[in-house]
Amino acid sequence: MRRIAFITESSARPAEPLPAYLFYQGKQSRWINAVIEYMEVRSFPREDIFFLSPYGQRIIGYEDIVAPYPLQKYHPRKSDALDIADKAVDIIQSIQPTPFVEIHAGRTLADPLKAALEAAGISCRVYADGVPLGTKPNAYQELIEEEKIQRKNREVQREKWQITSLIQYQTPNEASELIYRYGKRAQLLGIEENIEELKAMLTSYRRKHKDEAKTLQEFQTLLSQEDTEGELARFLQSITSLAELHADEFFENMKFKFGKSMAKFSTYLIKHTYVLLLENRINEAMLRTQIALMK
């Protein structure tokens, strides 16, 4: 839902015209300084922020240029506060759909404004309501810190969603990319244990994969020496596991004819199976990581 903010003017009176949000900031305006900071830290749309000035019963846009004007010695008259409230309601009623209204003002302006808004059926909230004037800056600093924490949490959550979108196939390559890109932020993301688990698995996987490749190369060297006519190569081209190898009716015959090559190929299949098992474990670990990122 769109929100509109009304902020009371401060006692700051610069000697030159300035945009309203600068005009009303100053050393003697700690409360309004804090209100403006609260607006900025939330990235509140500037076109939806207005200042309330009893001087001339004005409603001033956040970036409107304000020329110097007298500082009033007394609280605004009730009639002035009511006029400002009516003008504020007119602004809100001109916006569709009806927005939620934030009121950042003392009771002199806030009470009639809240009453007028509620009478018109417009939802609103008076911030730091009931807080003594001297402690309002502290109340807003608490709001600012809460907002910063919430923003940080939202940023972390968005980053988590981004990471889960990168994990599509749970492969070792994806695990390696995950560690490279987010390993240093694992604690913040709540996946420190997952990352350490993946690191250990990848170390073992790379070692096993290297050993598998070495054994395959050794087998291919033996094959070129023993299988000069390509008979064994044709036999093995569709074999992917020890089970398939031992189940084949020609296994014993081939083992007798090409003993060294068959022994090396069997070793290769064992090491290949270890690699596949590690890939499955990494797949499961990546899924656990995705689940952890959803928490």
Residues 250, 235: contact at Cβ < 8 Å?
yes
Beta bridge partners of 4: 101
* The pLDDT of residue 47: 98
**Average pLDDT value over all residues in the chain:** 95
Asked if the model's pLDDT at residue 42 lies above 90, the reply is: yes
Render pLDDT for 242-256 as a digit per residue (tens, 0 to 9). Answer: 999 999 999 999 999
Q: Mean pLDDT over residues 194-198, rounded?
A: 97
What is the DSSP secondary structure assignment for residue 230, as one 8-state letter?
S
Q: Which residue has the higher pLDDT, 253 or 166?
A: 253
* The pLDDT of residue 292: 94
Strands 3-8 and 100-104: parallel
CA distances from 168 to 80, 268, 295 (A): 63, 29, 18
pLDDT band of residue 146 (cuts 50, 70, 90) is: very high
Tokens representing residue 3 in the block: 């929100």
Asked if the model's pLDDT at residue 72 lies above 90, the reply is: no
Q: Read off the pTM.
A: 0.69
* The pLDDT of residue 281: 97
